[in-house]
Amino acid sequence: MKERKEPIVIAIDGTSASGKSTNARLVAKALGYVYVDTGAMYRTLAWYCLKKGLDVHDPKVVAAACRKWKTRLECVDNSVRLLVNGYYPEKEIRTAETSAATPAVAAVPAVREWMKKTQRACTQFGNLVMEGRDIGTNVFPETEFKFYLDASLEERTRRRAADGVKENLALRDQRDSQRAAAPLMIPLGAVVVNNSGQTPKETSELILAEIRRRLAQRGAAASKPSS
Domain ranges of the chain: 6-33+127-218, 38-125
Q: How confident is the model at residue 218 (pLDDT cuts 50, 70, 90)?
A: confident
pLDDT at 16: 83
Beta-carbon contacts of 75 under 8 Å, excluding residues fewer than 6 positions away, are: 34, 81, 125
Q: Which residue has the higher pLDDT, 89 or 197?
A: 89
Strand, helix or coil at 148? strand
Q: What is the pLDDT of residues 114-136, one digit of tens each?
A: 999 999 999 999 999 999 999 99
Q: Which residue has the higher pLDDT, 26 or 2?
A: 26
Residue type, position 98, single letter = T
Give the Cβ contact number of residue 224 at 10 Å.
7
pTM, two decimals, is 0.89
Specify whether the CB–CB gap between 31 and 129 falls below 8 A. Answer: yes
- Give the chain's end-to-end CA distance (angstroms, integer): 23
Specify whether the CB–CB gap between 49 and 60 falls below 8 A. Answer: no
Same fold, 6-33+127-218 and 38-125: yes
pLDDT at 61: 98
Highest mean pLDDT among 38-42, 92-96, 159-163: 38-42
CATH topology of domain 38-125: Rossmann fold (3.40.50)
Which CATH architecture does the domain made up of 6-33+127-218 adopt? 3-Layer(aba) Sandwich (3.40)
Q: How confident is the model at residue 182 (pLDDT cuts 50, 70, 90)?
A: confident
